Amino acid sequence: MATEQAFIPVAAPDLGETEERYAVDAIRSSWISSSGHYVNRFEAMFAELCGARKAASIVNGTAALHLAIEAAGLQPGDEVIVPSLTYVATANAVRYAQGVPVFVDVEPHTWCLDPDLIEAAISPRTKGIIAVDLYGHPADMDRIREIARKRGLWVIEDAAEAHFAGYKGRVTGSLADLTVFSFFGNKIVTCGEGGAITTDDPELDARIRLLRNQGMDPNRRYFFSVIGYNYRLTNVACALLCAQLERREWLITRRREIYRRYRDQLADVAGVGLQPVAPWAEVTPWLFCVTIDAERFGRTRDDIMAALQQNRIETRPFFIPVHQLPVYTAAHGGRSLPVTERLSANGLNLPTFSGMSDAQVDRVCAALIAAGR
Residue 258 and residue 361 in contact, taking contact as beta carbons nearer than 8 Å: yes
274: nearest Cα among 109, 151, 53: 109
The CA distance from 49 to 56, in Å, is 13
Active site residues: 187
Which DSSP letter does residue 113 get? B
Upper half-sphere CA count for residue 123 (Cβ side, 13 Å): 11
User: What backbone phi and psi angles, to 5 degrees, belong to 220?
Assistant: -150, 100
Residue 52 and residue 198 in contact, taking contact as beta carbons nearer than 8 Å: yes
Radius of gyration of the chain (CA): 21
User: What backbone phi and psi angles, to 5 degrees, belong to 263?
Assistant: -60, -40
103: nearest Cα among 280, 344, 278: 344
119 three-class SS? helix
Residues present in the chain in total: 373
80: nearest Cα among 131, 43, 25: 131
The CA distance from 307 to 372, in Å, is 10
The CA distance from 343 to 83, in Å, is 13
Residue 216 burial by CB count (10 A; 0-12/13-18/19+): exposed, middle or buried?
A: middle
